[in-house]
Amino acid sequence: MKKYFSLVLFAHTVFAMPFAVIGFFLAVSTTEHEFNWTKLFLMLLCMVFVRNAAMAFNRYLDRDIDAKNPRTAIRDIPSGRIHPNQALLFTLINCILFSVCTLLINQLCFYLSPIALAVVLGYSYTKRFTPLCHLILGLGLALAPIGAYLVVTGTFAMLPIYFSLAILFWVSGFDIIYALQDEEFDRNNNLNSIPAWLGKKNALNVSSAFHVLAIVFVILPYFFSELSWCYLAGVLFFILLLIHQHELVKPDDLSKVDRAFFSTNGIASVVFAIFFLLDLYLRNQL
């Protein structure tokens, strides 16, 4: 089990999971639907299974590319710790478990599950034909708050879409920063990314623009709900960490990319979700 956790970088579920929790409790707090432990548990399982499937499939599909890249040659499949067929089987098992969980939740979630799987699995192909692959990755994670809202209500609403759009541009922006490390490799191997397409400096400008859009969409829910100053405090913390992320990475200095990508974004999502939940708690106490 440990080697499979390594394969899918299980700890990185921290990026989308907090926003799924936000989507879930957003539905509970703004609709007549009551909190349900079973639905929360099934939603969390869905998040784990779909991300496991997406990450394992990405590692399987990119195994030959990873073997050529000195930065990624140490990953589990190129290094021989996991056989490609094991990764593919792991992907299939997680897809099935994800679909079963959606069936246990409600019909709409089950009917939409193939679309969700198509997006998160399809991302792995996109670097082969478009530099906009970062946006497809962002879209995959952006399904989290919408999906969690559907778990509770079984209906669509505009409010969780604001959070999804925030995730879309937040994730796309920090994935561009992460891709800076492979700019030359991608260009030499006919792989697409915004850094390989535009160069480091312009790629960072695009990343900054995406993060500005993320800030806009993370602020919008405040004007269309009963969120208070506590939520705004979380937004401020989120913004400051985005700014800090861009201070860490320069076109001529990529030494802090891992810190900007993993630590900063992980902290940003978790703390932002905590402020959101604290806002709901304080509102219920008044």
Distance of CA 152 to the CA centre of its chain: 20
Domain range list for the chain: 2-285
CATH code for residues 2-285:
1.10.357.140
The model carries a pTM of 0.94
pLDDT averaged over consecutive 10-residue blocks of the chain (286 residues)?
A: 57 79 95 95 95 92 95 89 91 97 97 97 96 96 96 96 97 95 95 96 97 98 93 96 92 83 85 96 78
**What pLDDT is recorded for position 284?**
79
* pLDDT recorded at residue 90: 92
Q: Provide the pLDDT for residue 125.
A: 96
| Rounded Cα gap, residues 216 and 219, in angstroms | 5
Q: Looking at residue 257, what is its pLDDT?
A: 86
Q: What angle do CA 178, 60, 11 make, to 5 degrees?
A: 50
- The predicted pLDDT at position 4 comes to 55
pLDDT at 8: 54
